[in-house]
């Protein structure tokens, strides 16, 4: 009943400035869905359309079975947590949480019960009489969430709720939001962020949006799926590059032929790599892009003729040590250096030559349009 369906949704600001294009999306009952994307991709706009704060779009939005395009925000059974919290500065914490219920003419004792219950869940009972300006960032965040909880909505909407908090608090509040999701299993949640860590940590489903030319060409949605699906099976170069830090290494190559265990590609530096994808649609010599995540490049001790297949040998240009792991920057063959993430100190020195294996099932191959070739 609380699924959210968007069909053929488009929106532009003014006549010539599209922000959302061709969004078809279903968010299931009780699902935690994250809208993720770079700034300007329209993720907040999309959320505000579900809330009813953005009007004048084409397409249809349903919450449950009801088409809500003409329904006032207050009547959509949604609650929203804003980026800057949007607490009413002239009202106490209690009044902030009670305000919506009072507007709805909820009986007084019922309001009191719900506010105290929410305060208990969020551990802000001692703060109920305070004014918002007397609260810390984390406390304000809790009050904003409390204001959403008391309305017992069918859908929770979060608009970058953690971006005003410092790093440590952000991790903490992230886990609290996950707890909130567990406590209200019936409610669906839509959460907007530009932070992939938050998205990976929280989401049942990620909707990755892209902006600008890609949006105009392919529609707003770059890929929808479970976090690990997006991570391990990105549909295109944009998704592959957006998720993961440091970003996936991209190496220009040419298609050298299809064999039983995958597509063989030749790198400009001479190596050949086999990627277990279906390259049958490609012409011989077609330009492709090979993608390998830094953590998948495994150091190989052997050298020279002893090297097996699937290896790259490069000069080390720099090493960054983080204790637990190190980033090894490798020169050659690409405009940006390749990065390998190795465990511990790794034992590399700038100026050395080093070899790394790229295991076949960790390699991705993209055609000239940037679309991923499907894995075998």
| Residue 293 interacts with other proteins (CB under 8 A): yes or no | no
Return the number of other C-beta atoms located less than 10 Å from residue 123's C-beta: 11
Q: Which is nearer to other proteins, 53 or 169 (CB)?
A: 53
Tell me the C-alpha distance between 115 and 121, whole Å. 10
| Residue 181 interacts with other proteins (CB under 8 A): yes or no | no
- The site for other proteins, by CB under 8 A, has a size of 35
| Residue 103 interacts with other proteins (CB under 8 A): yes or no | yes
Return the residue of 4, 6, 46, 78 that touches other proteins, per CB under 8 A. Answer: 78
**Contacts with other proteins, 47-66, as mask; x by CB under 8 A:** -x--xxx------------x
Looking at the DSSP assignment, which residues form a beta bridge with residue 236?
371
Return the residue of 5, 10, 92, 152 that touches other proteins, per CB under 8 A. Answer: 152
Contact 197, 231 (CB under 8 A): no
Three-state secondary structure call for residue 140: helix
| Residue 70 interacts with other proteins (CB under 8 A): yes or no | yes
| Residue 12 interacts with other proteins (CB under 8 A): yes or no | no
DSSP structural state of residue 217: H
Return the residue of 3, 83, 92, 163 that touches other proteins, per CB under 8 A. Answer: 83
Q: Segment contacting other proteins (CB under 8 A): 150-158, 197-205, 257-265, 276-284?
A: 150-158
Q: Which is nearer to other proteins, 95 or 278 (CB)?
A: 95
| Residue 73 interacts with other proteins (CB under 8 A): yes or no | yes
Tell me the C-alpha distance between 303 and 367, whole Å. 31
Tell me the C-alpha distance between 28 and 374, whole Å. 27
| Residue 322 interacts with other proteins (CB under 8 A): yes or no | no
* Residues 207-246 interacting with other proteins (rule: CB under 8 A): none
Mention every residue, 6+ apart, whose C-beta is less than 8 A from residue 248. 240, 241, 291, 292, 293, 294, 364
CA 68 to chain CA mean position, Å = 26
Return the residue of 18, 59, 62, 86 that touches other proteins, per CB under 8 A. Answer: 86
Return the number of other C-beta atoms located less than 10 Å from residue 76's C-beta: 20
Return the residue of 11, 43, 140, 154 that touches other proteins, per CB under 8 A. Answer: 154
| Residue 89 interacts with other proteins (CB under 8 A): yes or no | yes
Tell me the C-alpha distance between 153 and 16, whole Å. 36
Cα-atom radius of gyration of the chain, to the nearest Å?
A: 25
CB of residue 59 to other proteins, shortest distance in Å: 18
Q: Which is nearer to other proteins, 99 or 325 (CB)?
A: 99
| Residue 132 interacts with other proteins (CB under 8 A): yes or no | no
| Residue 72 interacts with other proteins (CB under 8 A): yes or no | yes
CB of residue 190 to other proteins, shortest distance in Å: 14
- By CB atoms closer than 10 A (0-12, 13-18, 19+), residue 129 is exposed
Measure Cα distances from 293 to 296, 343, 366 in Å: 5, 14, 14
185-203: burial string, b at 16+ Cβ within 10 Å, e else: eebbbbbbbbebebbbebb
Q: Which is nearer to other proteins, 141 or 326 (CB)?
A: 141
Q: Which is nearer to other proteins, 81 or 292 (CB)?
A: 81
| Residue 84 interacts with other proteins (CB under 8 A): yes or no | yes
CA 218 to chain CA mean position, Å = 18
Question: For binding to other proteins (CB under 8 A), which residues are involved?
Answer: 48, 51-53, 66, 70-80, 82-84, 86, 88-90, 99-101, 103-106, 147, 151-154
């Amino acid at each position: 009943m609380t699924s959210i369906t968007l069909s053929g949704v488009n929106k532009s600001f003014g006549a010539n400035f599209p922000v959302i294009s061709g969004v078809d999306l279903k968010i299931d009952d009780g699902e935690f869905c994250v809208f993720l994307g770079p700034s300007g991709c329209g993720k907040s706009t999309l959320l505000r359309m579900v809330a009813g704060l953005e009007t004048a779009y084409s397409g249809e939005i349903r919450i449950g079975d009801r088409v809500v395009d003409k329904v006032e925000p207050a009547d959509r059974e949604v609650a929203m947590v804003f980026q800057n919290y949007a607490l009413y500065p002239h009202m106490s914490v209690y009044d902030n949480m009670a305000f919506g219920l009072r507007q709805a003419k909820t009986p007084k004792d019922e309001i009191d019960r719900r506010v105290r219950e929410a305060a208990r869940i969020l551990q802000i009972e001692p703060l109920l009489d305070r004014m918002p300006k007397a609260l810390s960032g984390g406390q304000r965040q809790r009050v904003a969430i409390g204001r959403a909880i008391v309305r017992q909505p069918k859908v929770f909407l979060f608009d970058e709720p953690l971006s005003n908090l410092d790093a440590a608090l952000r991790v903490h509040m992230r886990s609290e939001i996950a707890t909130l999701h567990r406590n209200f299993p019936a409610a669906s949640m839509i959460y907007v962020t530009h932070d992939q860590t938050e998205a990976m940590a929280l989401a049942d489903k990620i909707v990755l949006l892209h902006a600008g030319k890609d949006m105009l060409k392919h529609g707003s949605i770059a890929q929808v799926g479970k976090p690990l699906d997006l991570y391990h099976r990105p549909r295109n170069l944009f998704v592959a590059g957006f998720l993961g830090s440091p970003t996936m290494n991209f190496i220009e190559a040419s298609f050298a032929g299809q064999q039983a265990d995958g597509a063989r590609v030749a790198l400009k530096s001479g190596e050949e790599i086999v990627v277990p994808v279906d390259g049958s649609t490609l012409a011989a010599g077609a330009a492709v892009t090979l993608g390998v995540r830094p953590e998948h490049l495994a150091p190989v001790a052997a050298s020279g003729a002893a090297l097996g297949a699937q290896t790259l040998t490069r000069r080390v240009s720099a090493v960054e040590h983080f204790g637990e792991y190190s980033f090894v920057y490798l020169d050659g063959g690409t405009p940006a250096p390749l990065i390998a993430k190795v465990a511990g100190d790794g034992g590399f020195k700038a100026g050395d030559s080093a070899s790394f294996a790229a295991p076949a099932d960790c390699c991705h191959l993209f055609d000239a349009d940037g679309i991923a070739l499907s894995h075998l």
